[in-house]
Amino acid sequence: MNFFKSVMMLLLATVMLYSCKPKDNDIKTEVEKKIATVEMTATTVDVKDGVVTVGGQAKDDAAKTLAESSAKEVKGVKSVVNNITVVAPIVIATDDVLTQSVKDAVKDYPTVVATVNAGVINLTGSITKDGLQKLMMALSSLKPKKIDNKLTVK
């Protein structure tokens, strides 16, 4: 009879301990609250058996690390899989560099006039349809703020 009581007590203790552990949904809610203060976009949180997977886009490595460490602080988290990507900043060329690059790009199009002002490429003149596609691809690769296309297609 003592053996039976011991087994029942052990079973009861196990059930009580298990019921005290945080549930995955509760962990997810707490992690979402914690990382809401981190500068990120498109944040995702998944939890399976206490293992948290975080995703999204962070502005820098510090934000990525902060999101992971914040998730680890939540009770019941066993480990964190950090799938957050750091978004590379868009670099806009300065006008001097951009102007020289634009001159190189339009040199084969004598009827095209291109100017650069505050990162914006202004195009006037005329060009063939095939030439326009090639020129626009070349100019877009220079990463200007904008291309103001006022070319006439012939």
pLDDT digits (tens, 9 = 90+) for 21-61: 678 899 999 989 989 888 887 789 999 999 999 998 988 89
pLDDT in tens, 67-98: 999 999 999 999 999 999 998 776 655 688 89
| Greatest alpha-carbon span in the chain | 103
User: Whole-angstrom Cα distance, residue 96 to residue 84?
Assistant: 36
Whole-number pLDDT of residue 20: 57
Contact indicator for 132, 109 with CB cutoff of 8 Å:
no
Structural domain boundaries of the chain?
Answer: 22-86, 95-153
Same fold across 22-86 and 95-153 = yes
Query: For residue 53, what are the β-bridge partners?
Result: 46, 81
Report DSSP state, residue 129: H
Average confidence (pLDDT) over 113-142: 92
- The CATH code that applies to domain 22-86 is 3.30.1340.30
Report DSSP state, residue 133: H
Q: Which CATH class is domain 95-153?
A: alpha beta
Token couple for 151:
């070319």
CA 151 to each of CA 110, 142, 146: distance values in angstroms, whole numbers, following the listed order: 13, 19, 15
